[in-house]
Amino acid sequence: MLIDAQECQLVLVDYQAKLQPAMAGAAEVWANAARLAELASALGVPVWGTEQNPSKLGEMPPEIRRHCREVLAKMQFSAVEEGLGEWLQPEPAQAPRGNARSLPRHLQKPQAAAQERKSIVVAGCEAHICLMQTALDLLEDEFEVWVVTDACTSRTERNRDAAYDRLAGAGAELVTTEMLAFEWIRSAEHPDFKLLQNLFK
């Protein structure tokens, strides 16, 4: 099964200034997060961010943060525990506006419901703590979860890899940044194919 950009949302977990120096392979991981955020934004994929205790650990870098619709400041390790799940639900249809002279209800055009996007792409750190707990809670809430492995990290590779094993066993799909990007685009004729090429030169 290929992943469809029209059914996705992207959650970027805790790419924060004070965490970066301690993370394994951080430069590549942060660069891949920026690529994901830029491509998702261009494709209309909603991007959400989280920050763990930002008063102590700092904010996301601006090249990632500027693509996020909202950034959730949290103290719980799972962002779902702090309300992320509500953000990922479709917005309810707006009730028609008007006054007493409006058309009768049976003549009003039905309001289109917001599209449900149940495929959640997650990336971030630490893979074995905040990312894993968030992803497991999303699976519990019946979202499809795709973990972008080369945009995730922990302080040690052992912890990171243990998180991947556990997530895969729980039903998450493990992908890479390029794998995801090319599945979102699907064709060299896609209008954003040039952007994809530039991001992955």
Residues recorded for the chain: 201
Of 27, 23, 60, give the one whose Cα is nearest residue 160: 23
Of 88, 87, 94, 89, give the one whose Cα is nearest residue 113: 94
Lowest mean pLDDT: which of 2-11, 70-79, 92-101, 137-146? 92-101
pLDDT for res 50: 98
Q: What is the mean pLDDT of the chain?
A: 90
Q: What is the DSSP letter of 153?
A: B
pLDDT for res 108: 58
CA distance 85 to 36: 21
pLDDT higher than threshold 80 for residue 115? no
DSSP result, 105-123: GGGSPPPPPPPP--EEEEE
Query: Which region holds residue 124: left if phi is over 0, alpha if psi is between -120 and 50, else beta?
Result: left
CA distance 132 to 105: 47
Rounded to two decimals, the pTM is: 0.87
pLDDT for res 136: 98
- Work out the burial of residue 48: count CB atoms within 10 Å of its CB; fewer than 13 is exposed, 13-18 middle, 19 or more buried: buried
pLDDT for res 91: 66
Mean pLDDT, residues 38-54: 96
pLDDT for res 116: 83
Query: In this structure, what are the phi and psi dihedrals at residue 71, rounded to the nearest 5 degrees?
Result: -120, 125
pLDDT for res 112: 46
Mean pLDDT, residues 147-152: 98
pLDDT higher than threshold 60 for residue 44? yes
Give ∠ CA 121-58-75 in degrees, rounded to 5.
Answer: 65
Mean pLDDT, residues 132-161: 97
Given a contact cutoff of 8 angstroms between Cβ atoms, the answer to whether 10 and 30 are in contact is no
pLDDT higher than threshold 90 for residue 119? yes
| Domain assignments of the chain as residue spans, ordered by start | 5-89+116-199
Mean pLDDT, residues 12-28: 95
| 114 or 62: which leads in pLDDT | 62
Token digits of residue 124: 């971030």
> Could you tell me the fold of the domain covering 5-89+116-199?
Rossmann fold (3.40.50)
pLDDT higher than threshold 60 for residue 118? yes
CA distance 66 to 84: 18
CA distance 150 to 133: 18
What percent of the chain is modeled with pLDDT above 70? 88
Q: What is the pLDDT of residues 72-112, one digit of tens each?
A: 999 999 999 999 999 999 865 555 555 545 555 555 555 44
CA distance 177 to 199: 11
